[in-house]
Amino acid sequence: MFIEQAIKKENKFWKYLVGSLFVILASSLAQIPLILAVFLSPHTTNLAQLSTTDILNVLDSNLSLFLMSLTFVGGIIGLYFVAKWIHKQSLRSLINPFGSIRWSRFFFAFGLWASVVVFTTSLDYLLHPTDYVFNLNWPSFILLVLVAGVMLPLQTSCEELIFRGYLMQGFGNLAGNKWFPLLLTSLIFGGMHIFNPEVEKMGYSILIYYIGTGLLLGIFTLLDDGIELAMGFHAANNLIGALLVTSSWSVFQTHSILKDVSEPEIGFDVLLPVFIIYPLILLVLRKKYKWTNWKEKLTGKFTLPN
């Protein structure tokens, strides 16, 4: 039902291309406050020689997190007008085909993945204590909780509305099946992270994690006929991660509780979530929400209007 609701004669694929460009433009305009803040900062020297991480470090991490997140607020606003003006549908239709948002699903997925992140981080700290140093500064951390608690769920919701909502429906309109939008949105989602400093530091192999995560969130969406589970999972991943651990090479430079000072490398800790933890998460959700008919929901076809 989630993809099928957007299968309309007037929803030609070219409209999704135009809509995507409009969302990119809206997101770019929302970057202006961040650009101005960096240019006006007394710590800015030769901007052309700075990496993305260095540019963000010119500002206090709480301020840079807030300003960087405005990009996604712009994306949500742009997507609202794209859905309303170009596709003649509501923004909520990119969340599910039902009459209201299923918040219980959002909070269950959030709590489930937050528990996993806290547990695995705590376990790694106990096993490798020398890889971490305490980074806690209470005033800065409290401000981080306030800023991240508001802005990061907006950031992750924007990404889910775009990838598991808008583009999932758009590629469904193009292909007339479900497996194509599932795979393509996962690949694009993974590729979107290619410029993250983690990729520069650890190599392209880490894209396995990003693509695998996109695939998991796409499976959530198709099996559950909505993006609430994906939204909750994604929000927990970014928010709890930003509060618990930072590092000199991560995309989020935050006043977190711990700082990872180890030399990063691709290993079991990257493959573990994709190939072991993610399948277990799917089993938990399948049992809770009684998902059936997986083949049809993940690979089924539908007739496109002429």
**pLDDT number for residue 149:** 97
The letter for the amino acid at 217 is L
Give ∠ CA 60-64-70 in degrees, rounded to 5. 155
Using only C-alpha atoms, what is the Rg of the chain? 20
DSSP letter for each residue of 208-220: HHHHHHHHHHHHH
Per-residue CA distances from 136 to 28, 130, 237 (Å):
33, 16, 20
- Tally of structural domains, the chain: 1
**pLDDT number for residue 72:** 97
Closest CA to 102 of 228, 193, 231, 291: 228
Q: Say what angle helices 61-81 and 138-160 make with each other, to 10 degrees.
A: 20
248 in a domain, yes or no?
yes
304 in a domain, yes or no?
no
Closest CA to 70 of 37, 95, 103: 37
184 in a domain, yes or no?
yes
- The whole-model pTM stands at 0.94
306 in a domain, yes or no?
no
3-state percent breakdown (helix, strand, coil) of the chain, nearest 5: 75, 5, 25
Token pair of 223 as six digits: 């099996």
**pLDDT number for residue 224:** 97
**pLDDT number for residue 41:** 78
Helix (H) or strand (E) holding 113: helix 103-127
**pLDDT number for residue 10:** 85
Burial class (CB in 10 A: 0-12, 13-18, 19+), 291: middle
| Region label for 176, one of left (φ > 0), alpha (ψ between -120 and 50) or beta (otherwise) | left
238, 114 contact by CB (below 8 A): no
**pLDDT number for residue 271:** 83
189, 167 contact by CB (below 8 A): no
**pLDDT number for residue 302:** 85
- CA-CA distance, 148 to 159, in Å (whole number)? 16
**pLDDT number for residue 99:** 82
149 in a domain, yes or no?
yes
Token pair of 140 as six digits: 């800065």
172 in a domain, yes or no?
yes
**pLDDT number for residue 43:** 67
Closest CA to 59 of 98, 84, 77, 33: 33
**pLDDT number for residue 181:** 96
Domain residue limits at 241: 4-299
**pLDDT number for residue 201:** 80
Per-residue CA distances from 220 to 94, 215, 230, 285 (Å):
14, 9, 6, 9
Residues β-bridged to residue 152? none
302, 4 contact by CB (below 8 A): yes
- CA-CA distance, 94 to 72, in Å (whole number)? 16
**pLDDT number for residue 161:** 98
**pLDDT number for residue 53:** 58
Which residues of the chain carry a pLDDT beneath 50? none
**pLDDT number for residue 195:** 83
DSSP letter for each residue of 226-256: SSHHHHHHHHHHHHHHHHHEEETTSS-----
Closest CA to 163 of 122, 100, 213: 213
**pLDDT number for residue 251:** 77
